[in-house]
């Protein structure tokens, strides 16, 4: 008596690991941004300013507040390597909400392709509306476009889901030539690309978005203010061709979930230059922490990982069942995320390590606990 989605939904493995991880002293599990770099005073000030006007408490318009769309268009897109052009911006309640809207729009038991591994939580919104999911392997240059093309010769897909920068969980950036080639493939084999790019604002110097190379409206770009500002605001946006953007705006009538006041707050913070000022600072901040993680792993002889260029995550091959190592690590006071659920095939020995919640000392200590946990397993 319930829908397919109602039947198939289950607790996210990331959420599950997070719950188990609460007991642990050292947290290399959470994907939340480091609380120490959330600009709480500036955000509070922005609330004070926008709450001078009661319109900030009215119903949001479906598709988003014009003020925020204008700020993004005029003072932010260029920092992401994009311009609005003929496309339209749709404000969403974060990138996850964008994925849900896009899944709802595009899919009804269709065939899709995703990176293997991919971020299971965002992916769920399209997985639960697909009949077949084709996993395409990643290497240190991102999704293997040759492998994708071999599949495309055999099977028609509707959507490809890609995380181009600071990949979650793999840590890699997608190579520029591959970005261009994905757009070619999308045109040749008639599919759409969902480019989920929440880390770009803190990614440092990375190639232009896939969307940048798209001249025919095949790429839907998804951005978020969760990493650069704060996840608790639940504000992100889509950049898509006019037809799709209009439909997604209409679909927002169904959930109407995007807080008006939070949209004004983000608009205000962009206008003040706070968002763009933070981009370099946060890239450098997280890079320092990532270097500590990489150095600590290397020091401990744990070297089977892709070298993350940016973002929060490193994917480590433990060479042992990662759930077994996880259980030992939790006993020793360390949490991480066993990465098997991010993989459609393989991944049994993989662990996702995050640098956000622990400081440098804790990261070092966490890695030495991890080493012990591996030895125990």
What is the closest distance, in whole angstroms, from the C-beta atom of residue 58 to a second copy in the complex?
5
* 217 Rama class: left (phi>0) / alpha (psi -120 to 50) / beta: left
What is the closest distance, in whole angstroms, from the C-beta atom of residue 375 to a second copy in the complex?
33
CA 312 vs CA 127, 226, 352: distances in Å = 24, 13, 10
Any idea which residue has 């996993």 for tokens? Answer: 135
| C-alpha closest to that of 81 among 256, 279, 363, 253 | 279
User: 107 or 318: whose CB is closer to a second copy?
Assistant: 107
User: 128 or 376: whose CB is closer to a second copy?
Assistant: 128
User: 255 or 321: whose CB is closer to a second copy?
Assistant: 255
Asked if 294 touches a second copy (CB under 8 A), the answer is no
Asked if 303 touches a second copy (CB under 8 A), the answer is no
List binders of a second copy among 91-150 (CB under 8 A). Answer: 93-94, 96-97, 99-101, 103-108, 121, 124-125, 128-129
What is the closest distance, in whole angstroms, from the C-beta atom of residue 114 to a second copy in the complex?
16
User: 102 or 172: whose CB is closer to a second copy?
Assistant: 102
Contact by Cβ (8 Å): 244, 217 = yes
Using CB under 8 A, which of the segments 140-148, 177-185, 246-254, 362-370 binds a second copy?
246-254
User: 43 or 267: whose CB is closer to a second copy?
Assistant: 43
Residue 170 in tokens: 């793999």
Asked if 189 touches a second copy (CB under 8 A), the answer is no
User: 182 or 233: whose CB is closer to a second copy?
Assistant: 233
List binders of a second copy among 60-79 (CB under 8 A). Answer: 60, 62
CA 339 vs CA 53, 172, 264, 346: distances in Å = 46, 15, 37, 10
Residue 338: CB partners within 8 Å, gap ≥ 6? 13, 17, 322, 323, 325, 326, 350, 351, 352
Size of the site for a second copy (CB under 8 A): 66
What is the closest distance, in whole angstroms, from the C-beta atom of residue 158 to a second copy in the complex?
6
What is the closest distance, in whole angstroms, from the C-beta atom of residue 356 to a second copy in the complex?
11
Selected from 17, 26, 28, 43, the binder of a second copy by CB under 8 A is 43
Asked if 346 touches a second copy (CB under 8 A), the answer is no
Q: Which residues of the chain form contacts with a second copy (CB under 8 A)? A: 1-6, 9-12, 15, 32, 35, 38, 40, 43-44, 47-48, 51, 54-60, 62, 93-94, 96-97, 99-101, 103-108, 121, 124-125, 128-129, 158, 226, 230-234, 247, 250-251, 253-262
């Amino acid at each position: 008596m319930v829908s397919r989605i109602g039947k198939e939904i289950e607790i996210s493995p990331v959420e599950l690991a997070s719950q188990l991880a609460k007991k642990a002293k050292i947290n290399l599990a959470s994907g939340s941004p480091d609380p120490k770099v959330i600009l709480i005073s500036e955000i509070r000030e922005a609330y004070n300013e926008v709450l001078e006007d009661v319109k900030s408490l009215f119903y949001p318009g479906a598709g988003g507040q014009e003020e925020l769309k204008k700020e993004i268009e005029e003072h932010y897109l260029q920092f992401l390597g994009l311009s609005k052009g003929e496309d339209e911006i749709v404000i969403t309640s974060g990138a996850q909400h964008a994925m849900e809207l896009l899944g709802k729009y595009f899919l009804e038991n269709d065939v899709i392709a995703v990176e293997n591994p991919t971020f299971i939580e965002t992916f769920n919104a399209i997985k639960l509306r697909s009949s077949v999911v084709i996993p395409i392997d990643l290497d240190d240059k991102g999704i293997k476009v040759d492998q994708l093309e071999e599949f495309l010769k055999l099977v028609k897909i509707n959507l490809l889901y890609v995380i181009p920068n600071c990949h979650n969980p793999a840590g890699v950036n997608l190579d520029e030539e591959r970005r261009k080639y994905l757009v070619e493939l999308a045109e040749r084999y008639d599919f759409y690309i969902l480019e989920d790019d929440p880390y770009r604002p803190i990614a440092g110097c990375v190639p232009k978005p896939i969307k940048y190379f798209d001249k025919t409206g095949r790429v839907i770009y998804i951005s978020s203010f969760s990493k650069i500002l704060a996840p608790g605001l639940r504000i992100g946006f889509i950049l898509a061709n006019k037809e799709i953007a209009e439909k997604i705006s209409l679909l927002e009538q169904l959930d109407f979930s995007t807080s008006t006041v939070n949209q004004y707050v983000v608009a205000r913070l962009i206008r003040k230059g706070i968002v763009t000022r933070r981009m370099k600072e946060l890239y450098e901040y997280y890079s320092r922490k990532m270097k500590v993680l990489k150095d600590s792993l290397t020091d401990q002889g744990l070297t089977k990982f892709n070298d993350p260029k940016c973002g929060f995550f490193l994917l480590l091959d433990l060479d042992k069942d990662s759930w077994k190592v996880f259980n030992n690590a939790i006993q020793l006071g360390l949490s991480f995320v066993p990465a098997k659920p991010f993989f459609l095939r393989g991944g049994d020995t993989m662990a996702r390590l995050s640098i956000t919640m622990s400081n440098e000392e804790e990261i070092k200590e966490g890695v030495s606990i991890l080493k012990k946990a591996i030895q125990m397993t």
